[in-house]
Amino acid sequence: MSHPHPELGPPPTLPEGGLRIVALGGLGEIGRNMAVFEYDGRLLVVDCGVLFPEPDQPGVDLILPDFEYIRDRLDDVEAVVLTHAHEDHIGAVPYLLRERRDIPLIGSKLTLALIEAKLTEHRIQPTKLEVIEGERHVFGPFDCEFLAVNHSIPDALAVAIRTPAGIVLHTGDFRMDQLPSDGRLTDLGGFARLGTEGVDLLMSDSTNAEVPGFVTSEREIAPVIDEVIRTSEQRVIVASFASHVHRIQQVMDSAARHRRKVALVGRSMVRNMGVARDLGYLKVPPGLIVDSRDIEEWPPEDVVLICTGSQGEPMAALSRMANRDHPIRIAEGDTVLLASSLVPGNETAVNKVINGLTRWGARVVHKGNAKVHVSGHAAAGELLYVLNLTRPSNFMPVHGEWRHLRAHARLAALTGVPEDHIVIAEDGVVVDLVDGRAKIVGAVHAGYVYVDGSSVGEITDTSLKDRRILGDEGFISVVIVVDSNTGKLTAGPEIHARGSGIDPMQFDEFIPQIERALAEKAADGVVDMQEIRRVVRRTVGRWVSDTYRRRPMIIPVVVEV
């Protein structure tokens, strides 16, 4: 297997007739999926998604791929192919189009409709091309064939990219549900046909590579959802991803069967389901949906609410209900159904929401105590099936954390892909397909770009470290006035502390230590203000550490006179 190395240097010039692949996100993580293909000086982008922040990234709303690698070459981008409409595949598109608005977006009807609704909020009118499975379209040197795949959102596609360097099959996110809710099967015949033609590089979804066997069919969830709604004596509140049309269809069907009204709660839920209904992907019986603002007029036993927040997101509807910070108040006897998977890293946030809901008397049904979710990603048995169908010359696992990528690589080796033809890359690692062989040849920068409110990229890792210190240890500010000519202290020190857990009265005993340290520096002729700040920070830090075993942020404020 070809492994990434932390000391990889910049890649060499791409050989003539070679294809270059650089993932700017989605490798070693669940989210931020974005791959850049280069042939003969032209670029094709597959997906452009976001990653959602973890608890150790306070204040961050979204994490984007770093576009620096292509920023000076945006005019070379032929198109952005979107495999499906999940946020981890389309969420960063508005930020890319801010840099070049006319990049063509290529995708299925639902995918383009959902991204267009998102772009409207950014006041961007996209250039787009709607495609369906079975079609082939040429974008510069890239001949793209689109194949149907089944996933947890309708209209998902895989893409086979043909160039003179060979055929690359990018599966996108997929599973092999043989009884899908919408009857749309993963095109295994198409995969087999490509295998016969010769797949030079397979890039395949790795999320469930550690899970043995085959994923349960979506249809098996419907009876469980129906049982929850049928037996609940008061309101049922269902939390789901705002893009999971199949799951929401099942909830609506059950609600209609038991004569309950449905209200959609949450801006993204209302927007996405409106688009899905208008395009015919969501079948809504007449009179089923009511406005969430009128929900209190209906008896609790006649109501189903469908909302966002299944991952414990702090600003989503369900979290706000759990915190009693939402117009809809959780009441004794309500049933809350978490009808989605648990994204790695969100366990603590979700458990907090479950506890909050339970506190107010709700019964919470979730994946841990009922069969209320099946994954949208292929398990190991399905991944082996695809590897055997396509018989790739080279293999590169994508979309997954490190453990998923390595597990998928082991599956590829079991099917006969030579180990030196298996490429395990990470974000920024450059892979060249030359003369039928895929190899790692270098690396480019592919860091995180943080979105915080309206600012994009202004928050750095250093900023986040400061925020974590402030949150965990608090801060201490020390104000002094210093003679700029002699370096002598003329007023202060004045000390203020917030969140540090230190009794302010203790500072009175400590101030003489600061005065002595500054006097010694002044006697040595030190008048440099940066050095004086360092003295204050070092002196205060040592005292706090020795006395309290704490490390708050220390902010010296030096006023020169």
Cα separation, 123 vs 112, in Å, equals 16
Written as six digits, the tokens of 256 are 């209609």
- Lookup result for tokens 């050989």: 15
Query: Is 377 annotated as ligand-binding?
Result: yes
Pair of tokens at residue 128: 């787009």
Yes or no: say if 153 and 243 are a contact pair by the CB < 8 Å rule.
Answer: yes
Instruction: Write out the two tokens for 100.
Output: 């070049």
Residue by residue, DSSP assigns 66-94 as PTHHHHTTGGGEEEEE-----HHHHTTHH
191-to-64, 159, 188 alpha-carbon distances in Å: 31, 10, 5
Compute the distance between CA of residue 249 and CA of residue 279 in angstroms, rounded to an integer.
14
Q: Is 368 annotated as contributing to ligand binding?
A: no
CA atoms 63, 66, 70, 74: torsion sign: positive
Between CA 101 and CA 280 the distance in angstroms is: 29
373 labelled ligand-binding = yes
User: E-strand spans in 424-484?
Assistant: 429-434, 437-443, 449-452, 455-456, 475-482
What is the C-alpha to C-alpha distance for residues 84 and 107, in angstroms, rounded to an integer? 7
Q: How far apart are CA 120 and CA 469, in angstroms?
A: 38
Determine which helix (DSSP H) or strand (DSSP E) holds 415, and give its type and residue range: none
And the tokens for 216? 């349960």
455 assigned to a ligand binding site: no
Report the candidate in 435, 541, 503, 392 with the shortest Cα–Cα distance to residue 19: 435
- Distance, CA of 35 to CA of 4 (rounded, Å): 16
Task: Establish whether 376 is an annotated binding residue.
Answer: yes
CA distance 87 to 115: 9
Q: How many CB atoms lie within 10 A of CB 68?
A: 14
Exposure of 16 in the CB half-sphere (CA atoms within 13 A) = 0
Write out the two tokens for 417: 């892909």
In the annotated binding site for substrate, the residues are 373-377
In the annotated binding site, the residues are 373-377
